[in-house]
């Protein structure tokens, strides 16, 4: 096993832990991270069932049922009956939810921007590529799970 990669990944997780925490404090966000993750998944992968959503967002199915119920009350998602299976629902992001997600991302960026304002164009590119690299691998994993 590649121990260098191991250490790098450990550091990456530790550092992003703190970034996440800092971001939450900076935006004074009350919506749960899992809800944002869920909206984010719906945006990038399109409508899906509660069970699939639970896998993709890495929470248990009952937790996702609750998250969806909350998002539904906010009218941030739509529940669409599955015509071929009366037990199941298709969950789709609603316009309000898309707006909320965009707004959250924006506020997050605004809150953290001062910290990163000194980045060079090259460093910006590094961060951007790293984000893509991680995103690709997470997505692959989620689809496989």
Partner DNA sequence: ATTAATTGTATAGCTGAACTATGTATATAC
Partner DNA sequence: GTATATACATAGTTCAGCTATACAATTAAT
| CA 113, chain centre distance (Å) | 19
74 near a second copy, judged by CB under 8 A: no
Min separation Cβ 69 and DNA, Å: 7
Compare residues 55 and 68 and give the one whose CB is closer to a second copy. 55
Residues 6+ apart with CB under 8 A from 112: 19, 22, 23, 26
119 near DNA, judged by CB under 7 A: no
Quote the CA–CA distance of 114 and 44 in Å, as a whole number: 28
* Dihedral over Cα of 20, 43, 63, 59: its sign: negative
Per CB under 8 A, which region of 20-28, 45-53, 63-71, 72-80 contacts a second copy? Answer: 20-28
Among 32, 40, 98, 139, binds DNA (CB under 7 A): 32
3-state secondary structure of 91: strand
Compare residues 89 and 104 and give the one whose CB is closer to DNA. 89
Among 2, 4, 5, 87, binds DNA (CB under 7 A): 87
| CA 97, chain centre distance (Å) | 13
Spatial contact of 27 and 111, defined as CB atoms under 8 Å apart: yes
Min separation Cβ 90 and a second copy, Å: 22
Q: Which residues bind DNA (CB under 7 A)?
A: 32-35, 49-52, 58-63, 65-69, 82, 84-89
């Amino acid at each position: 096993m590649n121990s260098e990669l191991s250490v790098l990944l450990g550091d990456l997780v530790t550092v992003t832990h703190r970034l996440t925490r800092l971001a939450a404090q900076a935006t004074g966000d009350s919506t749960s991270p899992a809800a944002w993750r869920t909206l984010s998944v719906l945006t990038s992968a399109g409508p899906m069932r509660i069970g699939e959503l639970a896998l993709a967002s890495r929470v248990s199915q009952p937790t996702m049922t609750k998250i969806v119920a909350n998002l539904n009350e906010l009218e941030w998602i739509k529940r669409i009956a599955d015509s071929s299976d009366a037990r199941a629902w298709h969950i789709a992001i609603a316009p309000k939810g898309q707006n909320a997600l965009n707004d959250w991302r924006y506020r997050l960026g605004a809150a953290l921007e001062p910290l990163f304002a000194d980045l060079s164009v090259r460093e910006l590119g590094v961060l951007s590529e790293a984000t893509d690299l991680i995103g690709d691998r997470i997505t692959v994993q989620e689809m496989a799970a």
